Amino acid sequence: MRLRNIFIIGLILASPLASTQEVINNPAAPAGKSQTEAIRVVKLTEVLRISDEAGAFSFKNPRRIKIAPDGSVFVAEREQLFKFDPRGRFVKTFLKKGEGPGEIKYFANFFFDSQGVVIGSFMPVKLIFSGLDGSFRREFRIHQAKPFTLLLHGSDDKFYFRSNDISPGNIKNGINQRTHLIDCADIQGELTSTGLSFTTLDAVIKKTSKEGGVYINMDEITEFITVFDQNRYLYVSHQARYRITQVAPKSAKIIRHFNRPFQPVDFQIREDLEENDRKLEEIKNQKYYNDIYAMRIHEGKLMVFTSAMDTQKRVLVDVFDHNGKYIDCFYLKIPGINRPDDLRRKPLCFSRGHFWTTSTDEDDNPLVIKYKMN
């Protein structure tokens, strides 16, 4: 059985400017190239790996990898945030469990600002500000925030969150529509709406016991995929088919939508699913994988991880500039990716010509690995 936090968006174009938003329909191949010559294979050469260190730390399930401005490596898990130096040596654990100043009960996300690290909690909803050395700077709660309001990103004075209206009472058995809101908080913790509203679809199995208890098992039908390019743009993929929305977060304006022709990949149900998960797949009735499963920023460009894979199970990555122009693509062999939806929660990180991700050793212990991209 699984109950997931749903990171999924379908866009509602509620803005009066919706009809004037730019739409860029890119060609099937990057600009100036034919489709056959455009696709290349990026070779990954391992240069560093980080594994458990007895008495210091132990990986359970790394979920995010981010590189700090000084080259430090931060690895987030469900209840932990580890810091390593640029050579992969363990430095410290950043999260302090609890509810006091500088302590966190439920970890949501983190990002870097000009003075260090900002850590988000979702219950209570608050931000903790630390130096890169772990020194406590300050913290504040986000006023008017509902429980499970999740930190997306921020800068020195603006902090962006996602909330939704989900509750057991308004969930039904079958396919459900969910509304998500993007909100912004200032340095006083005052939360205001950006006016950006999004909807998604979930597959749900809901049962009520004789004693009145409610059992809910759910999974996303589409994906909520976001990435911030510094503090300039927010990119959102919110549909099953290939379409990306570019937003200026400070003004809460949708700048443009862009896409390219993409042949959907036939979906294959996993063979080892438990009974409830198989029932969820029957509710979803998915014929194709989603076209996009992850997005990252590398050297100012948008890297889009698609569902297309070659015979060697290398993932096709598309590259766009900040104007939504399709400029490059390449295949990337990523450890542990055997089918497109394996990308859904895979840590993926680009930094200064390197690619970071996770793998496992011969005993199935998690590893964080740094590769040079050739």
> How far is Cα 360 from Cα 176, in angstroms, rounded to an integer?
36
Edge-to-edge order in the sheet of strand 116-122: 107-113, 116-122, 125-130, 136-141
* Residues whose CB is less than 8 angstroms from the CB of residue 238 and which lie 6 or more positions away in sequence, other chains included: 8, 9, 10, 11, 198, 200, 222, 223, 224, 225, 245
Torsion angle, alpha carbons of 151, 3, 341, 83, to 10: 40
pTM (two decimals): 0.91
Q: What is the DSSP string of 276-332?
A: HHHHHHHHHT-SB--SEEEEEEETTEEEEEEEEE-TT-PEEEEEE-TTS-EEEEEEE
Is omega for the bond preceding 249 within 30 degrees of 0, making it cis? no
C-alpha dist (Å) from residue 140 to 107, 119, 127, 131, 306 = 15, 11, 6, 16, 38
Edge-to-edge order in the sheet of strand 64-67: 64-67, 73-76, 81-84, 90-93
Does residue 48 contact residue 62 with C-beta atoms inside 8 Å?
no
Domain boundaries in the chain? 10-373
pLDDT values of the chain reduced to their tens digit, one per residue, 374 residues:
344 443 333 333 334 344 468 999 999 999 877 666 668 999 999 999 999 987 789 999 999 999 999 999 999 999 999 999 999 999 999 999 998 889 999 999 999 999 999 999 998 999 999 999 999 999 999 998 987 899 999 988 999 999 987 777 788 999 998 888 899 999 999 999 999 988 889 999 998 887 878 889 999 999 889 999 987 899 999 899 999 999 998 899 999 999 999 999 999 999 999 999 999 999 999 999 999 999 999 999 999 999 999 999 999 999 999 999 999 999 999 999 999 999 999 999 999 999 999 999 999 999 999 999 99
Q: Which two tokens stand for residue 45?
A: 């050469």
* Residues whose CB is less than 8 angstroms from the CB of residue 190 and which lie 6 or more positions away in sequence, other chains included: 143, 144
- Domain 10-373 homologous superfamily, CATH: TolB, C-terminal domain (2.120.10.30)
Secondary structure percentages of the chain, helix, strand, coil, to 5 = 5, 50, 45
Q: Which two tokens stand for residue 364?
A: 């199935």
Does residue 81 contact residue 64 with C-beta atoms inside 8 Å?
no
Question: Quick one: pLDDT at residue 71?
Answer: 96
> How far is Cα 200 from Cα 178, in angstroms, rounded to an integer?
5
Q: Which helix (H) or strand (E) holds 233?
A: strand 233-237
Question: Quick one: pLDDT at residue 110?
Answer: 97
Question: Quick one: pLDDT at residue 32?
Answer: 77
Q: Which two tokens stand for residue 176?
A: 């459900």
For 164, other C-beta atoms within 10 Å of its C-beta total: 21
Closest CA to 11 of 261, 241, 308: 241
Which amino acid type is present at position 88?
G
> How far is Cα 189 from Cα 66, in angstroms, rounded to an integer?
25
> How far is Cα 276 from Cα 216, in angstroms, rounded to an integer?
10
Edge-to-edge order in the sheet of strand 44-50: 44-50, 366-373, 354-360, 348-351
Q: Which two tokens stand for residue 189?
A: 């913790």
Question: Quick one: pLDDT at residue 37?
Answer: 66
> How far is Cα 108 from Cα 149, in angstroms, rounded to an integer?
9
* Residues whose CB is less than 8 angstroms from the CB of residue 8 and which lie 6 or more positions away in sequence, other chains included: 178, 180, 200, 201, 202, 220, 221, 222, 223, 224, 238
* Residues whose CB is less than 8 angstroms from the CB of residue 104 and which lie 6 or more positions away in sequence, other chains included: 95, 96, 97, 98, 119, 121, 128
User: Considering Cα of 114, then 119, then 120, then 125, what sign does the dihedral take?
Assistant: negative
